[in-house]
Structure 1
Amino acid sequence: MLEEANYFTKLSKVPVICKVVGRQVLDGVGLPTLEVEIHCTVKNYEKRICSIVVPSHFQIPDNALPAANEADEKERNSFVNTAVKWVNESLDRLLRDLNPTDQCEVDKILGEYFIRKAEEKEIQEQDEAEKAEDAEVTLTLASCTSSATTLPGKKKAEKPGKKVSVVERMIPPAEPDEPVLCGSLAIGGTSLAIAKAGATISHVPLYLHIALLKHKQESPKEMTLPIPMFNLFNCERSTSAKLKLVKEIMLVPPVNLSVEQGIQRFLDIQKELVRLMDPPSKASTAQVADSKKGKAQNAGKKAPQALKRVSHLGCLIIGGDHLEQLLLIIQTACDKIELKLGTDMYLAINCAAHELMDYVKGKYETLTGTFKSPDEMVDMYVELIDKFPFIIALIDPLRKEDRQQWNKICCALGSKCYLIAEDAARCISKLQIDQMINIPTCSGLVLKYINQTRVSDLIELTGHLDDQRQITILGSPDGESSDDSLVDLAVGLGARFVKLGGLLRGERVTKYNRLRAIEEELAKNRTLRKASLEFTAFAEESEPEKQLSDILPLPKQGLLPPQLSASPGGSQPALLPENGTLTWVVNIKFCRDFLTHSSKKLMC
């Protein structure tokens, strides 16, 4: 009897993690990335529970030089190989015997491990800096000795050029890219894999498991599905086309459509657009010119042509001479199939303006040879939305450093469309802990699950955004895989939109199919709540700043040096000095502070 009792006691034990496996796999475009596999002991037997393939943070540049591609490939391999090593040699040991449903404890351990690795990197950077300094001193002494033999009275010739223009000094300098710790992909990959394992053990879908984590294990009565942003065109800026302003054009279905209906409507528009822009079809060009709304503006201009290539985002690559040309051809395609923009479908535009700044002129290059100041950009967008009110979202219409212009554009257009920041939200950990980060006033952020981002980090940040009535858009990185966990993550977090790419690549279609499946499941359970499109009216220019500081609370008085404690005209922190640089020491410090802060919260 005792043996039988012991046997059944073992069977009744809570499942625990017994093995974590990392391996290198290929993503949707054939580039290396990380897969994390979770094994648990369930009823006294070891069992493979699930696996996750996470995309890397590397962006896929357009027409990069061979040397740049080679360097990027080498760095990518190093990042993935290090992440695999972290998982197999360290995280496997640290996470054994933990309950996979205890996400807080898992993320706390992952955060502590990242802190140790960050500190090791900091020490390594300091040692290298000291060695470089010693070498520089030696070189200086040698040069002083040699210069003593030169003839006296001969002045050193000044270096030609490099005069900094007045305009260049007036614009805020671009912040340096946030360094990524090699191997950090293991942290985010393992965190999401454990979340998926916890959902499997609990016999609930991943999206519901994420929602339960966000709402303190209180099951939501209804859930809203994020509205998909379908990538229609990827506008390649390196082509002979003049248009530089637009990087992506997306179609957004109305909230009264199901996901399946939205997909079908998008495919109908895409099919008609391909027909209109097909070069051999001369009749299609005439049809565009003779359309009711495009006749006056498009007279004497040929229709834009889609290139015979598909972007890594799963859509056609296109070029144009100006933005209105693309908008009119989309409008014409909708008219042909009896759809009306602004009612039956909306548009969203990713401007990616941070890639357009000419720092010598201090202006944005919107067309080839055409430059606009930040204030002129605001006027241009106001005129654009007034003329084409079916545009309901602008992503990165300005650089994140142009805070004053963000205030202006939000006050002018906030009640008409969403003004979204994507470039400013690249580093989620920095968003939460660094009080001096240059986040502009905006309607919401595009968040991406990459690098050391943990599930708990996204839950905390989206909670802040929800409290401040800011919208969350969960975005898909460039190098996606066929793993569809991103969709569950977006649904569980309650994101307003999900940005998944187009429907011309398999890894993108997989995610749309998952979104359809979740919608069917929620509708069957009668827990589906329709989404809404509600814009925010920004009253005064100072008010959005105040609202944003609630998301990123300011440090107490006396914690910052006087030159960084406040801006001259208000209570907001001033920008970093123009000659300020972010080093590994500074960035490692905020990562360490953030993860320590988060770990203390997760201990509850």
Structure 2
Amino acid sequence: METLIEEIYALEILDSRGNPTLRVYVELFDGTKEFSSVPSGASTGQNEALELRDNDKRYGGKGVLKAVNNVNTTIADALIGMDATKQKDIDYTMIELDGTENKSKLGANAILGVSMAIAKAAAKSLNLPLYQYLGGTNAVRIPVPCMNILNGGEHADNSVDFQEFMLVPHGAPTFTEGLRYVAETFHTLKSILKKRKLATSVGDEGGFAPDCESNEAAIELIIEAIKKAGFKPGKDLSIAVDNAANSFCTNLKDNYNLVWSGKGKVTSDDIIDLAGEWLEKYPIILWEDPLAEKDYKGFKKFTKKYGDKIEVVGDDIFVTNTKYIKDGIKKNLANSCLIKLNQIGTVTETIEAVRMCRDAGWRYFLSHRSGETEDTFLADFAVAMDGGHLKTGSACRGERIAKYNRLLEIEHELGDRAEYRWS
């Protein structure tokens, strides 16, 4: 068969932070060649699938030559001759080959690189765009871009505790216009920061990283930028927040410490109350990881209080793993799950996580990682999964812009069939 796998190999490359990652190449018997590159996270959940690192002197121990070797030997030996269009069979062959719960033997980075590259090769061989190959002929919904505009936490060296403040152009008529809304507001914010003599340097995901007087001051800057750019807060553009609460919770359960804002040690209830105050004052429509991954009681209380008003997203608490998502659905811990391919390690398992959310009536929020590459797989995947929104960084840094530009291409390809809506 023409779609049988003829060759698989990997190289060590660098991600957007200058750290090593993998690029995996696949060739099929019909001559089709494709490759995919693997992202890496900084703010990670304890139960994420394991990135295999070398832990030697190279790159401060962050080299991935062990993972590269696993692709070039163990994985290649098992997969060569298999049909690239049998994605589930391929992915579960690698899962069984690894044999660990968190893919620590072969490395989730090795497995995911192969999984994505094979999907891209199969789509190309069948002369289908990747979003249509993975999502079918009805994959026409372009996600609303939740653009990172201001960074804090582990993504920036500044005085903001919360990790991400995002712009959400849900009021735009198309993705193309939505991207314009957020890009124009991004540049307007830069001018505001300059005028106030605040830093205009950016964090890992391209958002600005100024030293603000408080976490709330970050939101006030964004609201000012929205208005100055000529848009209406809450109508054209709203805000999404990612606390990434693990980063300021020492025991990942109930010991919170908002160092930079000056509040110091706070409780789950304090954070929940703070959220209530902000929701009354600002057009926030999504809140990710408001509490730490083991603070089940806090998550449940937060969702009970605000889940009928906003999207409450679990990231570190669920790590794109159906085992944890199923438990979260049962316990009403959230109403949405962040979806990251490299948290679980295969295309198939990521799709299964999406389906579980969909079947439960939950939303699912497709996401990049802070350590990214120029690979655009995520853009096509977001369209294929029909989730309605995506976060893939700010209006700068090439590895982020590559995804936005791919979505512009997809919207153009779909023409009048393209849909753009928040829900």
TM-score of the superposed pair, with normalisation by structure 2? 0.88
Q: 1:230 aligns with which of 147, 153, 168?
A: 147
> By how many angstroms is 1:249 displaced?
0.7
- Aligned AA (1:400): E
Counterpart AA for 1:99: D
1:427-453 residue CA offsets vs partner (Å, 9 max, x unmatched)? 6365379x6999861121112111662
Alignment RMSD, CA only? 2.9
* Cα deviation, residue 71, structure 1: 7.9
Distance 1:432 1:180, change over 3 A: farther
Q: What is the letter of the counterpart of residue 107 of structure 1?
A: D
Contact persistence 1:401–1:440 (CA under 8 A): no
Q: Deviations over 1:493-536 (max 9, x none)?
A: 2223211011220111011000111111122xx43233233xxx
Structure 1 stretch displaced more, 399-408 or 178-187: 178-187
8 Å contact from structure 1 (residues 225, 519) kept in 2: yes
Partners in 2 of 1:36 and 1:445 — Cα distance?
28
Structure 1 unmatched runs, 5+: 1-12, 61-68, 120-177, 213-218, 286-304, 534-604
Residues in 2 aligned to 1:58 and 1:406: alpha-carbon distance in whole angstroms: 22
User: Is the CA contact 2:320–2:338 (under 8 Å) kept in the aligned structure 1?
Assistant: no
Counterpart Cα distance in 1 of 2:369 and 2:247: 17
**Farther off after superposition, 358-367 or 401-410:** 358-367
Q: Which residue of 1 aligns with 2:62?
A: 76
Residue among 178, 184, 189 paired with 2:108: 184
What is residue 47 of structure 2 aligned with on the other side?
A: none
Residue-by-residue CA offset, 1:256-300 (whole Å, 9 max, x unaligned): 43222122222221222222221xx4xxx5xxxxxxxxxxxxxxx
Structure 2: which 5+ residue stretches go unaligned?
Answer: 45-54
Report the counterpart of residue 375 of structure 2 in structure 1: 483
Which residue matches 1:49? 33
The structure-2 alpha-carbon separation of the partners of 1:105 and 1:401, relative to structure 1 and needing over 3 Å to count, comes to closer
Name the counterpart of 1:448: 340
Instruction: Letter of the 1:15 partner, please give it.
Output: T
Which string of whole-angstrom CA distances, capped at 9 and with x for unpartnered residues, describes residues 5-37 of structure 1? xxxxxxxx4332111111111222322111111
Q: Does the C-alpha gap of structure 1 residues 411 and 431 become closer, same or farther in structure 2, counting only changes over 3 Å?
A: closer
Q: Distance in 1 between matches of 2:36 and 2:224?
A: 42
| Contact kept? 2:320, 2:337, Cα under 8 Å | no
**Is 1:496 equivalent to 2:388 in the alignment?**
yes
The structure-2 alpha-carbon separation of the partners of 1:414 and 1:32, relative to structure 1 and needing over 3 Å to count, comes to same
The equivalent of 2:312 in structure 1 is: 419
Determine which structure has more spread, i.e. the larger CA radius of gyration. 1
Give the distance between the partners of 2:157 and 2:273, measured in 1 at CA.
27
Does structure 2 conserve the Cα–Cα contact (< 8 Å) formed by 1:18 and 1:97?
yes
| SS of alignment partner, residue 39 of structure 1 | strand
In structure 1, C-alpha distance between the alignment counterparts of 2:227 and 2:344, rounded to whole Å: 46
Shift of 1:200: 0.8
Deviation string 1:307-348 (CA, Å, 9 cap, x unpaired) is 242212122212212233222222222222331110110111
Q: Pick from 447, 464, 468: which aligns with 2:360?
A: 468
TM-score by length of 1: 0.63
Q: Secondary structure at the match of 2:133?
A: helix
- Counterparts of 1:504 and 1:361, CA distance in 2: 35
Contact 1:354-1:398 within 8 A present in 2 as well: yes
1:124-163 equivalences under 5 Å are none
Distance 1:431 1:94, change over 3 A: same
Q: Aligned pair in 2 of structure 1 residues 512, 405: CA closer, same or farther (>3 Å)?
A: same
CA distance in 1: counterparts of 2:253 and 2:205, whole angstroms: 32
Residue type of the alignment partner of 1:481 = T
- Say whether residues 1:392 and 2:285 are aligned partners: yes
Runs of 4+ in 1 over 6 A off after TM superposition: 69-72, 435-440
**Deviation of 1:393 (Å):** 0.9
Q: CA deviation at 1:179?
A: 8.6
Taking the TM superposition and a 5 Å limit, the aligned residue runs for 1:504-523 are: 504-523=396-415
Equivalent in 244, 266, 269 of residue 182 of structure 2 = 266
Aligned to 2:49: none
Distance 1:196 1:387, change over 3 A: same
Judge conservation of contact 2:131–2:383 (CA < 8 Å) in 1: yes
**Partner residue in 2 for 1:34:** 22
Q: 256, 272, 275: which is aligned to 1:378?
A: 272
Residue type of the alignment partner of 1:263: L
1:510-564 C-alpha deviation (Å, 9 max, x unpaired): 11000111111122xx43233233xxxxxxxxxxxxxxxxxxxxxxxxxxxxxxx
Instruction: Give the 3-state SS of the residue equivalent to 2:150 in structure 1.
Output: strand
* 235, 242, 246: which one aligns with 1:343: 235
Pair 1:18-2:2 in alignment: no
Whole-angstrom CA distance in 2 between matches of 1:467 and 1:308: 43
- Residues 210-260 of structure 1 deviation map (CA, whole Å, 9 limit, x = unaligned): 114xxxxxx42x63222111010112578673x42x211110001543222
Question: In structure 2, how many angstroms separate the alpha carbons of the residues matched to 1:438 and 1:193?
Answer: 34
Instruction: Provide the secondary structure at the position in 2 that maps to 1:488.
Output: helix
SS of the aligned residue for 2:236 comes to coil
Instruction: Measure the CA separation in 2 of the matches of 1:24 and 1:329.
Output: 40
Contact 2:252 2:295 in 1 (8 A): no
Q: CA deviation at 1:379?
A: 1.6
Mapped to 2, the partners of 1:529 and 1:441 lie a distance apart of 30
Instruction: State which of 163, 166, 189 in structure 2 corresponds to 1:247.
Output: 163
The equivalent of 2:50 in structure 1 is none
